[in-house]
């Protein structure tokens, strides 16, 4: 069985995000970039399936600038077998990414596609669902547990009422939630081995996809700074503050 995993290059979650002075975008100058945490969980799950003997090959694919190859190599160091980079200078929207991934899926013919449920930069939570719609494949979103049986993948997902398990006939698309697994760290020997693993570079033109812009970024503003708290001397004063100042009761 072949597993295809999508990965994205994002700002490291430990870095404090800065906004450009003209509020046109997020400032990426001299900022540490990393593998999107949800994509890292997707890679880990695919590698575990391979280690369990359920998968024979794990392929990772990323869309973006040349620098994205760093994150593809990271995924290879975590245990993936080969990588595909679709190089584009533009920052692709979710629909464009889904269209590019659909072409890769048509060429690779994987049995299972695993994606992160969302990227921590755009927070759109769209690509996996759009990809499923374009390919007309069953999908299981926000997976907290994944089990493979004969020709079927059972996806357990958290819902408001508890847990829900859906059975999907392969090939299928699964998007990962935080509780699915705990990603491993790449060891130095595996990092060195990853440099020799195959990484194929394509362009949207190679895949026959014309990327179009459907949305426009109008403005980016930082969140409001949290104000300091105050100390009250009695319960009555607390109630008064909540009622008249905070207006929450």
Q: Tell me the residue range of the domain where 28 lies.
A: 2-214
Is 226 part of any domain? Answer: no
To the nearest whole percent, how much of the chain has pLDDT over 90?
A: 71
- Across the chain, mean pLDDT equals 92
Is 14 part of any domain? Answer: yes
Is 228 part of any domain? Answer: no
Parallel/antiparallel/unpaired status of strands 152-159 and 162-169:
antiparallel
Is 243 part of any domain? Answer: no
pLDDT of residue 138: 96
pLDDT of residue 222: 86
Is 221 part of any domain? Answer: no
Parallel/antiparallel/unpaired status of strands 2-7 and 139-149:
unpaired
* Domain tally, the chain: 1
Q: How confident is the model at residue 89 (pLDDT cuts 50, 70, 90)?
A: confident
The pLDDT of 152-163, averaged and rounded, is 91
Is 227 part of any domain? Answer: no
Q: How confident is the model at residue 160 (pLDDT cuts 50, 70, 90)?
A: confident
pLDDT of residue 214: 83
- Residue 31's CATH number: 3.40.50.620
pLDDT of residue 244: 87
* Tens digit of each residue's pLDDT (9 = 90 or more) over 36-77: 999 999 999 999 999 999 999 999 999 999 999 999 999 999
Over 90: is that where the pLDDT of 122 sits?
A: no
pTM of the entire predicted model: 0.86
């Amino acid at each position: 069985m072949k597993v295809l995993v999508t990965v994205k290059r994002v700002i490291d979650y430990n870095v404090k995000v800065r906004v450009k002075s003209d509020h046109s975008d997020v400032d990426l100058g001299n900022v540490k970039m990393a593998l999107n945490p949800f994509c890292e969980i997707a890679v880990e799950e695919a590698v575990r399936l391979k280690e369990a003997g359920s998968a024979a090959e794990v392929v990772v694919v990323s869309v973006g600038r040349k620098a994205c190859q760093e994150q593809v190599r990271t995924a290879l160091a975590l245990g993936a077998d080969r990588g595909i980079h679709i190089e584009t200078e533009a920052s692709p929207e979710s629909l464009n990414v889904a269209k590019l991934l659909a072409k890769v899926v048509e060429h690779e013919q994987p049995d299972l596609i695993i994606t992160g449920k969302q990227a921590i930069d755009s927070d759109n939570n769209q690509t996996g669902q759009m990809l499923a719609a374009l390919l007309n494949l069953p999908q299981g979103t926000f997976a907290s547990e994944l089990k493979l049986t004969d020709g079927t993948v059972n996806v357990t997902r958290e819902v408001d009422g508890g847990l829900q398990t859906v059975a999907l006939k392969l090939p299928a698309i699964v998007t990962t939630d935080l509780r699915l697994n705990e990603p491993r760290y790449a060891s130095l020997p595996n990092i060195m081995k990853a440099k020799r693993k195959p990484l194929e570079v394509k362009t949207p033109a190679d895949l026959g996809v014309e990327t179009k812009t459907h949305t426009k970024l109008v403005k980016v503003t930082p969140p409001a700074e949290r104000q300091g708290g105050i100390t009250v001397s009695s319960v009555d004063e607390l109630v008064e503050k909540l009622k008249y100042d905070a207006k929450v009761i």
